Structure 1
């Protein structure tokens, strides 16, 4: 049975955070989201304008920024979602707070310690990394135990667990680098974080949930989610990962071209042909950034093969992170938050603002790679990220600190 405690009848209270996994983990993710980008915006500003100084982190700030976003910010939301839906997918009892509170403590405490380490606290970096690993492995063990208990194989759950397991490997690699291993391991960690962890998990959730959501509200919609497509995407992503780690950048197109075709085909099959509510439309609009990402990766690879230059820089990566991951973060978290708080399944104005703003920020950050003064545009994109997410984070944060609107538990 779910643990219960006496709660205030109304008003904001931190006691509500532990009533469900998504409440706690989404609240932590929202805090991590703003704190990580605030530090990064300040660091970028200090790099562009010498009159503004920031403490030098023990690890190159760009690598630390990538690590925070890949292993602490977005995974806080991922764990919150999976700890909520795994029992439902498998027909098992909901998890108790003793299962998910340690996960949240590790990820939140880990990021706070890491940011303090980046600002001058010498022990913060290593302490934060070990806290993050402890929280991560706890979450992985809980999800793995649920899979071991299910009577039938839920392939989407196994796919998510595979991504999180690769993420644990990447987290260990980053710790090894922080403890003195070669720079190969930090690059190994960053590449796994995007192509081995986040992208497979996002694609898996989209493959399972988006057709399901559309089928519930669009008359005559025919769900399309063959497992062969998901297996093919996994194979191609692993090929992309191996080519990147081997520095075979001129041959990445061998993976990126079929990834582009497969993502375009899936988007075409998933997209409803009838009118759909905004809360559903944002899922497919955000997914459109995925084929655009592979267009940029493909152009980058072919250009490198011809000229030996990375003319697009980190544009493909930021189309993926800000455009695809950022858009679907707003879309999915808003949907889960509305539904699990007893509110109507609609896209609130504050969520629309954040979703539209993040499209602008993504375009700005992609274009920054081609601008004469790229660092100025990077600063503007980082500040734009904060402005885009701050109202939305404030809105959903107040929901997690409040009772459900329908008076139900959870």
Structure 2
């Protein structure tokens, strides 16, 4: 009697399963960071609100919150997606396991060191940032080689790669700050993370994939994804960023009003009224609705500064963008990729729905918090709500990344 041996293409050990595909490892980092970094931020909010003692930090809490959430939490999801689909977009060889394993290890280790630097060991910050940058550059080299092979013919690949380059520059600026350079560099790094890295990548992926998904399931759907809208987004986002960083926020409406119109037009051109089902498609359109709303708030903020010299919006527009759009789109798109690449049905289950609807509520609470007489309790409530609604989704997702595909296929 013989005993069947496992196929070498289907590892059975947890690490082998985790490294069976780029998205598994990188999505796991991001999923765990969603809870770890927000737990740290919740404690920072409570300490600031109540005057509790807080461990020595490498940088102000607000700067660290922006950096950790953008570069150490959302960016691993970006890499997990792009290291998987980028070669497929270009019809080229997949990224090797050695490459994405190195990216995984360096970004995971670097992110943990940065968090530790904010939790009592500030002197180690440069080491964490250097590790993250090294992982980032390895990924850029792998994707850049394929872009050169393709001769830059894919506009979506070019756009994503440009955003990743700006992200690498942002981490380099943060590293320079950690080594003693001007604190201003840290603020620039966080601005690049939002408007030079994450928003261009998110919009580019939506620009390519949302009409594709819609066309597959909606009879008579009309695909609208002109290259000019992608180029226009880049031009206007860079204008927004430069005006803000140069201290001309009162003139930022020059970019923000056209951005609001562009994003509203693109959302309507994708025909959201046709996407009432399936749920995995509906959530993408709901998340995309936050984009024009966010820039309408940015426009109002800038116009208020221009007319009155003050603005009562504080961070409301930014959180409409980061929670309303980034986090909502993350739940929808990552759930889709996770289900599709694990042999599960392409459907929103109970736990993903809780996470997605919870993100809508979290975004609303955080946006309205700036209008409260005592905003600190509301800030803290939004952070706690984030943790509560995402915890089941993170645990479920982590389990999927650490277990073999249901359909028996490799990857």
Quick check: TM above 0.5? Answer: yes
Write the distance in 2 (CA, Å) between the matches of 1:152 and 1:195: 22
Q: CA deviation at 1:342?
A: 1.0
Equivalent position of 2:323 in the other structure: 322
Equivalent position of 2:131 in the other structure: 131
Equivalent position of 2:392 in the other structure: 391
RMSD over aligned Cα, in angstroms? 1.4
Write the distance in 1 (CA, Å) between the matches of 2:272 and 2:365: 29
Gaps of 5+ in 1: none
Residues 71-100 of structure 1: CA deviation (Å, up to 9, x unaligned): 111110000000000111011122221010
Q: CA deviation at 1:224?
A: 0.5
Superposed, which structure 2 residues align to 1:302-321 within 5 Å? 302-321=303-322
Q: Is the 8 A contact 1:214 1:272 kept in 2?
A: no
Q: Is the 8 A contact 2:112 2:128 kept in 1?
A: yes
Verify: 1:79 aligned to 2:79, yes or no: yes
Equivalent position of 1:228 in the other structure: 228
Residue 93 of structure 2 aligns to a residue in which SS?
coil
**Moved >4 Å (runs of 4+):** 3-6
Residue 224 of structure 2 aligns to a residue in which SS?
coil
Write the distance in 2 (CA, Å) between the matches of 1:312 and 1:273: 30
TM-score, length of structure 2 as denominator length: 0.96
Equivalent position of 1:202 in the other structure: 202
Equivalent position of 2:179 in the other structure: 179
Using a 3 Å threshold, how does the CA distance of structure 1 residues 268 and 345 change in structure 2: closer, same or farther? same
Superposed, which structure 2 residues align to 1:1-400 within 5 Å? 4=8, 7-8=11-12, 13-50=14-51, 52-150=52-150, 153-274=153-274, 275-400=276-401
Q: CA deviation at 1:29?
A: 0.8
Residues 19-70 of structure 1: CA deviation (Å, up to 9, x unaligned): 00001100111111111111111111111113x4320302111101101111
Write the distance in 2 (CA, Å) between the matches of 1:292 and 1:152: 33
Q: CA deviation at 1:13?
A: 2.6
Write the distance in 2 (CA, Å) between the matches of 1:256 and 1:30: 31
Write the distance in 2 (CA, Å) between the matches of 1:278 and 1:271: 15
Q: CA deviation at 1:186?
A: 1.3
Residues 156-178 of structure 1: CA deviation (Å, up to 9, x unaligned): 00000001101111111111112
Larger displacement relative to structure 2 (257-266 or 113-122): 113-122
Using a 3 Å threshold, how does the CA distance of structure 1 residues 269 and 174 change in structure 2: closer, same or farther? same
Residue 393 of structure 2 aligns to a residue in which SS?
helix
Q: Is the 8 A contact 2:10 2:410 kept in 1?
A: no
Residues 367-403 of structure 1: CA deviation (Å, up to 9, x unaligned): 1111111111111111111111101011111111111
Write the distance in 2 (CA, Å) between the matches of 1:21 and 1:209: 19
Residues 105-149 of structure 1: CA deviation (Å, up to 9, x unaligned): 111111111111111124331111111111111111111111112
Write the distance in 2 (CA, Å) between the matches of 1:158 and 1:110: 27
Write the distance in 2 (CA, Å) between the matches of 1:6 and 1:302: 57
Larger displacement relative to structure 2 (222-231 or 93-102): 93-102
TM-score, length of structure 1 as denominator length: 0.96
Equivalent position of 2:406 in the other structure: 405
Write the distance in 1 (CA, Å) between the matches of 2:295 and 2:248: 16
Write the distance in 2 (CA, Å) between the matches of 1:233 and 1:122: 37
Q: CA deviation at 1:152?
A: 6.3
Q: CA deviation at 1:321?
A: 0.4
